[in-house]
């Protein structure tokens, strides 16, 4: 059975719409409470909740907590914290569930709800479906009460401060973009702890400006400030802090594949990559496979979505994985994607090798890759489209083992995503132009 409300990263949509509103949030809290009450066997019914800086987050968080507490669950609200801080707290405190009200990199007009299990990892498709099936038709009149935690981030910060030597970044100038989001206090505190001089962007959250022209989705300002200030690198998070995007000392933005490859190759050289495996998604460039194989490792691919990456890592016994979009999972430190941990891991490689990012990123030689994102009026089942599946097969036959095609609908937005890799950029551009033309005949593009 297909999930109705959950996508690749929780429930998400415009605030005040048919799904993301206080009534539905409370009903979802009740459903999650029912799920926990039925599946938790050791008696622990504690839930840890947090949110990003969106103005709608406070009332939605209270609504979810009310629904959970009406089932007798003990709800502790950390308020504004990075998503990975909630995941870490769930694991550390042995809580039954974690909840984060966030729409991640989406605009402030959107919001969403993510759940984390006792292991600090996002719930599986099957668990999310089970929660949907426990949704009440209406919100009961019985309301629960939640408590606020006086300190939601100290333990998270202290853990991060163990990842580098004291004063390791003294003399380093770093441009930091916190997207006017949940990391406005946390990442600056940790980088300054290590002695870094920070040039900050997106550090004035007002509830309405999260991700507004800043953050991981808008790295141009980051790159410009790096060039202007002569910084060693730039670091940008998304609104809830589970992503990280970097630019080198020249202001060139690295994608997630370059970051994952440099981390994995460095670990392979030191014999420190668990199982010699890097886990990535179908979206990652084929050059990653080549680079990792050359260094003595192997790549395992999963469906798109950081929780599928984590599931793949668990299955393989791997400790490093991620997405080209900037989700990085360093499972030796954190149970889920964590932008701050990823930043410190990259800084660790720079410190150890003495090399700038412009040099380290050369570990990956990419296959030419082009993408298109088409906003559609309606997301349909890909296989039911009359022409696009045939066109995909034709392009795949022509590319053979020198390229690949990936076409999918976004799990969180009304978009069709097209990707083509080929031996040359000209071949890739021609192939994706064909696919886009066919897609526009099959779908209403807006």
Catalytically active residues are 104
Residue 259's nearest CA partner among 360, 333, 176, 368 is: 360
Are 285 and 245 within 8 A, CB to CB?
Answer: no
Residue 318 to residues 231, 273, 312, 327, 361: CA-CA distances in angstroms? 33, 8, 8, 16, 22
- C-alpha–C-alpha distance, residues 323 and 304, integer Å: 8
The CA-based dihedral angle spanning residues 221, 224, 230, 233, taken in that order and rounded to the nearest 10 degrees:
50
Q: Tokens standing for 403?
A: 């390229």
Q: Where are the alpha helices (DSSP H) in 82-163?
A: 83-93, 125-132, 154-160
- C-alpha–C-alpha distance, residues 378 and 372, integer Å: 17
Residue 241 Rama label (left phi>0; alpha psi -120 to 50; beta):
left
Are 91 and 335 within 8 A, CB to CB?
Answer: yes
- Residues comprising the chain, all counted: 446
Please calculate the CA angle 105-108-114 and round it to the nearest 5 degrees: 55
For the chain, how many helices (H) and strands (E)? 14, 19
The CA-based dihedral angle spanning residues 50, 5, 91, 177, taken in that order and rounded to the nearest 10 degrees:
-50
Q: Where are the alpha helices (DSSP H) in 196-255?
A: 220-229
* Residue position matching structure tokens 């989406």: 106
Strands (E), 81-192: 97-101, 110-116, 147-148, 173-177
- Kindly give the pairing relationship between strand 298-302 and strand 277-281: parallel
Residue 159's nearest CA partner among 136, 124, 129, 189 is: 189
């Amino acid at each position: 059975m297909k999930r109705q409300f959950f996508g690749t990263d929780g429930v998400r949509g415009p605030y005040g719409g048919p799904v993301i509103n206080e009534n539905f949030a409370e009903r979802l809290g009740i459903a999650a409470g029912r799920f926990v009450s039925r599946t938790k066997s050791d008696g622990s019914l504690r839930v840890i909740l947090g949110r990003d800086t969106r103005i709608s987050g406070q009332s939605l968080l209270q609504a979810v907590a009310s629904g959970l507490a009406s089932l007798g669950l003990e709800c502790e609200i950390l308020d504004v914290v990075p998503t990975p801080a909630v995941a870490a707290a769930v694991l550390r405190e042995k809580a039954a569930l974690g909840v984060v009200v966030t729409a991640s990199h989406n605009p402030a007009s959107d919001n969403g709800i993510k759940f984390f299990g006792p292991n600090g990892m996002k719930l599986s498709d099957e668990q999310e479906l089970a929660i949907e099936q426990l949704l009440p038709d209406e919100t009961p009149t019985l309301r629960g009460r939640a408590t606020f935690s006086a300190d939601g981030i100290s333990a998270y910060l202290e853990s991060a401060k163990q990842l580098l030597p004291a004063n390791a970044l003294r003399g380093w100038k770093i441009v930091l973009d916190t997207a006017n989001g949940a990391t406005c206090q946390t990442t600056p505190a940790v980088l300054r702890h290590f002695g870094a001089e920070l040039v900050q962007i997106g550090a004035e959250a007002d509830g309405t400006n999260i991700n507004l022209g800043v953050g991981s989705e808008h790295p141009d300002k980051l790159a410009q400030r790096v060039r202007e200030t002569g910084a060693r690198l730039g670091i940008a998070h998304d609104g809830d802090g589970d992503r990280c995007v970097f630019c080198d000392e020249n202001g060139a933005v690295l994608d997630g594949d370059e970051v994952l490859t440099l981390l994995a190759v460095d670990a392979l050289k030191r014999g420190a990559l668990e199982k010699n495996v890097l886990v990535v998604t179908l979206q990652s460039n084929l050059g990653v496979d080549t680079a990792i194989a050359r260094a003595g490792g192997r790549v395992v691919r999963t469906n798109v979505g950081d929780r599928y990456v984590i599931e793949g890592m668990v299955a393989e016994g791997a400790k490093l994985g991620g997405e080209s979009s900037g989700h990085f999972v360093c499972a030796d430190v954190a149970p889920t994607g964590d932008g701050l941990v990823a930043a410190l891991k990259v800084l660790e490689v720079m410190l150890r090798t003495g090399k700038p990012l412009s040099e380290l990123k050369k570990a990956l030689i990419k296959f030419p890759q082009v993408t298109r994102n088409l906003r559609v009026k309606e997301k349909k089942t890909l296989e039911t489209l009359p022409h696009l599946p045939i066109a995909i097969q034709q392009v795949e036959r022509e590319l053979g083992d020198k390229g690949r095609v990936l076409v999918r609908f976004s799990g969180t937005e009304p978009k069709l995503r097209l990707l083509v890799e080929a031996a040359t950029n000209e071949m890739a551009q021609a192939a994706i132009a064909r696919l886009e033309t066919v897609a526009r005949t099959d779908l209403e593009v807006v």
